[in-house]
Structure 1
Amino acid sequence: MAVGGGADTAGVRRLGRLYATLRGCDEGVLFFPLFTLLMADAGLSTAELTTLLMIWGGVAFALEVPSGAWADTFSRRRLLASGAVLRGIGFAVWFLWPAYPGFAIGFVLWGVRSAISSGTKEALLYDELTALGAESRYTALAGRAATVAMLTMLAASALAAPAFAFGGYGLIAALSVLACLGSAAAALALPERPRVRPVRENGGVGAYLGNLRAGITEVRTDRRVWHAVLIAAAVPSLSALDEYGPLLVRDLGVSTAGVPLVIAALIAAMALGSMLAERWRATPAAVGATIAAAGVALAVGAGAGRVWGLVPIAVCFGLLQLTRVLAEASLQHTMSGHTRATVLSVSGFGAELGALGVYAAFGAGSLWLPIAPLAALCAVPIVLVGVLAHRWLPAPAAPGGAAAEAA
């Protein structure tokens, strides 16, 4: 069924608006550009901050694949809403208990939310589009929603400086909790059709275990899916360096007061990258070259050691965001679909594993090197992923055998 009738077109537009609202609330958190500074101001060292990031990544890592099977078994809307509420509680704990244990509790709750959300919202969008006969619109809607998310993050980053000046970390925490509640409301407003189960599945634990096995088996036995999973995992894992963004910006010579504004500029570059996704050539060669170019830009910017290096760093962030959308869309179109959230969560599991590697490398490297040289060294694996993407990504094809529709 093509998206040609009025009902289908209206359904796609409504779905796109609600999904973009969800993504916007997810990213419109004023804590993002300041939480590492909150922890530094509380007396934590870079090594201690790294252990907290590893706790965050470790929790998400441990729950990633099981949560994907949950999303293939239970209501995805409710899972997304629950995760948003948990993250809001974590932000409140950070403000009420600004010490290492309080920060750890907040990161545990955020890690649970990350696992629940990873793959779940994307699977919900793709399956709802498929039900409308509009799966070829996935890259366009996902890219536009990512743009909204980045622009909302940009607005939050721009507001962080005056909000902090007016109300300190207390106001930042309150507004961040409100954003999480908005995300929960948007998740519950999304449409969700009942999913068809295989005859052997009756729901509950049996359905959960069956979905878990089926998703892992598809990744393990289908070489095209396996390669798409690896690339879709590698790009966001290397993007984990953005958690050190405020420290990197300050290391390049920007004052603490100016850090949120520079972070806003970096987010604007990421928004532009998302906006370009639906028009960018999605061939393996183009995606691979784009990833490699991001690595080169990072090496130049971080290696400069001066404020002007932020320009190529912004280019790197934008290109990584662009390829993140393209790699995830390639995986969506490659997999079979019955256990979509589980397969996406396997990719998310790989991303969390890679992020843990990045955190460990930064934590160990910070004993000998400043943040900027460490960031420059991350260019090497980024370029390598670009080479592998050229070799491994499947050629773009219309999903489900349907004719591709112009975005």
Structure 2
Amino acid sequence: MRYMPNVWKLFAIRFFSSLIPAYVIERLYWEERGMTIEMVVYTEIIYAVTIVLLELPTGIMADKWGRKPMIVLSAFMGCCEFLILLFATEFWHFALVVFLAAIGRSASSGAENALLYDSLLSAGEETSFEKYLGHLNALDISATIIAALCGSLLASRFHYELNYGISFVSTLVSLGLTLTLVEPAVKNPTDEDPPIPIRTYITASVRFFRNHPGVYLVLLSGMVTGSAVNFIDEFWQTYLDRVHIPVLYFGLVSAAIFMLRLPGNLVAHKLKSVFGYSSLLSAIMAGIALGFLCLSVMKGISGLAAILLVCLMAGVMEPLAAGYLQHRIDSSMRATLGSFQSLGENAVLSVIGIGFGYFSSKLDIFGGFGFIACICCLFLIYFSYASRKHI
């Protein structure tokens, strides 16, 4: 039971790392400092490519040398991001920020879930992983909602820089909490054993996915939907600005966006036992595809309903895909294999981002969302066929 406190510490870390009032006006702040939609997409591609390059190495390091150092590194990168953003005025400043953000994301993506699962495993509670992960995500969403409501109010009355200063303090608190984590005891190679080459980790990971096509298919669905939803997270503010919604109401919209992710995270572990993975994943992807299709044609305030539909569907996906993988892998490679989903998601994101940026430049944000709708529909057709054999 000595590792169970890690669970509550992870809850606190996630809360403060998500208590970021800067996010509610991020696109407006960037645009105010000269960043166009195309330039933002370029930084998104930098972010995605960096994660693709670093995701596996950081996952391997988490498995070989510990999850805690990677989580601490992620929190430290978060502090650096907001410190730089307070003074950012040029494209390369923002490019550096997303580069550091990618380092932090890749460091924590596999390590956090691995630390959570192994902490639960030490207490015999590993079967409750989806439940705890769902609650962790729910707390994340709650903190985001609080930050959004406060952030929009502050942004309507004060300079945007205040939001970024508060966000920097919140990341500092999160960094301090990461230092109190305790590394769980897992079955890793002993000090007497020769070190395992990185190539061995990669080969074993590829072999695992080849031998488990169902896991591969579920993670692929998480990658595609996750990368698609990312464009909602990054550009909903631009959409609201285009349909002339005042910044004062951004907090309410952001709260609604994240509030709708709560039910899915909290009940995903129950839904999977009722409907099964194949039917549930198909419904999620169909809902997301429909939402993006509506966004591309609804050029008014009614498009908010489509954004909310996408977020409602997205809330179920993360714990579902993560749990499907975690229950089927060994602790010695938990972070490495967990990193594959983030790696693949960002590889897909970098490819989709090119098309999104092109259509946004021609047809504004509405054209970009239409392109995402086409991608989601095509993948849904593929998934419906492949899932009959493998899930």
Settle same-fold status: TM greater than 0.5: yes
Kindly provide the amino acid, as one letter, of the partner of residue 224 in structure 2: A
Assess if the C-alpha contact under 8 Å between 1:128 and 1:193 holds in 2: yes
User: 1:250, 1:215 → 2: CA distance?
Assistant: 44
Instruction: Please state how far the C-alpha of 1:51 moved relative to its aligned partner.
Output: 1.0
Kindly provide the amino acid, as one letter, of the partner of residue 169 in structure 2: L
Counterpart in the other structure of 1:405: none
Counterpart in the other structure of 1:195: 186
1:48 paired to 2:53: no
Counterpart in the other structure of 2:21: 30
User: 1:323, 1:134 → 2: CA distance?
Assistant: 22
Instruction: Please state how far the C-alpha of 1:78 moved relative to its aligned partner.
Output: 2.0
Instruction: Please state how far the C-alpha of 1:232 moved relative to its aligned partner.
Output: 3.0
Q: 1:245 aligns with which of 228, 236, 256?
A: 236
1:67 paired to 2:58: yes
Instruction: Please state how far the C-alpha of 1:326 moved relative to its aligned partner.
Output: 0.9
**Secondary structure of the equivalent of 1:189?**
coil
1:114 paired to 2:109: no
User: 1:337, 1:49 → 2: CA distance?
Assistant: 37
Counterpart in the other structure of 1:161: 152
CA change 1:200–1:224 in 2 (3 A) is: farther
Instruction: Please state how far the C-alpha of 1:207 moved relative to its aligned partner.
Output: 5.9
**Secondary structure of the equivalent of 2:272?**
coil
Deviation digits for residues 296-332 of structure 1, max 9, x if unmatched?
A: 1332244221102202320211211212221121121
CA change 1:131–1:262 in 2 (3 A) is: same
Q: 1:148 aligns with which of 126, 132, 139?
A: 139
Normalized against structure 1, the TM-score is what?
Answer: 0.87
CA change 1:206–1:323 in 2 (3 A) is: closer
Deviation digits for residues 156-204 of structure 1, max 9, x if unmatched?
A: 111112222454232212211122222223323333223222469747x
* Matched ranges for 1:171-210 at <5 A: 171-198=162-189, 202=193, 206=196, 210=200
Moved more, 225-234 or 209-218: 209-218
Kindly provide the amino acid, as one letter, of the partner of residue 346 in structure 2: E
User: 2:192, 2:263 → 1: CA distance?
Assistant: 44
User: 1:292, 1:235 → 2: CA distance?
Assistant: 10
User: 1:150, 1:393 → 2: CA distance?
Assistant: 34
Counterpart in the other structure of 1:303: 297
| Residue ranges of structure 2 left out of the alignment (5+ in a row) | none
Counterpart in the other structure of 1:218: 208
CA change 1:167–1:73 in 2 (3 A) is: farther
Kindly provide the amino acid, as one letter, of the partner of residue 302 in structure 2: W
CA change 1:66–1:96 in 2 (3 A) is: same
Paired residues, what number?
386
* Matched ranges for 1:246-285 at <5 A: 246-281=237-272, 283=276, 284-285=278-279
**Secondary structure of the equivalent of 1:280?**
helix
Assess if the C-alpha contact under 8 Å between 2:229 and 2:310 holds in 1: no
User: 1:172, 1:23 → 2: CA distance?
Assistant: 19
Deviation digits for residues 251-300 of structure 1, max 9, x if unmatched?
A: 23312343333222211112233223233235111222122122213322
Assess if the C-alpha contact under 8 Å between 2:34 and 2:89 holds in 1: no
User: 2:66, 2:158 → 1: CA distance?
Assistant: 38
Kindly provide the amino acid, as one letter, of the partner of residue 275 in structure 1: L
User: 2:211, 2:13 → 1: CA distance?
Assistant: 34
Instruction: Please state how far the C-alpha of 1:221 moved relative to its aligned partner.
Output: 4.0
1:367 paired to 2:367: no
Structure (1 or 2) with the greater helix fraction: 2
User: 2:127, 2:171 → 1: CA distance?
Assistant: 30
1:346 paired to 2:340: yes
Moved more, 357-366 or 220-229: 220-229
Assess if the C-alpha contact under 8 Å between 2:296 and 2:366 holds in 1: yes
Deviation digits for residues 1-56 of structure 1, max 9, x if unmatched?
A: xxxxxxx5x965x4442222222222221222222211111122211121112112
Q: 1:138 aligns with which of 94, 108, 129?
A: 129
CA change 1:389–1:227 in 2 (3 A) is: same
Cα RMSD (Å): 2.5
Normalized against structure 2, the TM-score is what?
Answer: 0.90
CA change 1:363–1:312 in 2 (3 A) is: closer
Kindly provide the amino acid, as one letter, of the partner of residue 99 in structure 1: E
CA change 1:277–1:189 in 2 (3 A) is: farther
Moved more, 221-230 or 385-394: 385-394
User: 2:89, 2:251 → 1: CA distance?
Assistant: 20
1:324 paired to 2:318: yes
Instruction: Please state how far the C-alpha of 1:347 moved relative to its aligned partner.
Output: 1.5
Assess if the C-alpha contact under 8 Å between 2:25 and 2:152 holds in 1: no
Instruction: Please state how far the C-alpha of 1:140 moved relative to its aligned partner.
Output: 0.4
Assess if the C-alpha contact under 8 Å between 2:153 and 2:251 holds in 1: no
Moved more, 205-214 or 117-126: 205-214
**Secondary structure of the equivalent of 1:193?**
coil
CA change 1:60–1:15 in 2 (3 A) is: same
User: 1:389, 1:15 → 2: CA distance?
Assistant: 37
CA change 1:369–1:201 in 2 (3 A) is: farther
Kindly provide the amino acid, as one letter, of the partner of residue 98 in structure 1: T
Instruction: Please state how far the C-alpha of 1:139 moved relative to its aligned partner.
Output: 0.5
User: 1:127, 1:209 → 2: CA distance?
Assistant: 24
Moved more, 56-65 or 384-393: 384-393
Q: 1:333 aligns with which of 309, 322, 327?
A: 327
Counterpart in the other structure of 1:80: 71
Counterpart in the other structure of 2:12: 21
Q: 2:387 aligns with which of 365, 375, 392?
A: 392
User: 2:215, 2:152 → 1: CA distance?
Assistant: 43
1:312 paired to 2:306: yes
Counterpart in the other structure of 1:399: none
User: 1:247, 1:332 → 2: CA distance?
Assistant: 36
Instruction: Please state how far the C-alpha of 1:63 moved relative to its aligned partner.
Output: 0.6
Assess if the C-alpha contact under 8 Å between 1:69 and 1:211 holds in 2: yes
Counterpart in the other structure of 2:376: 382
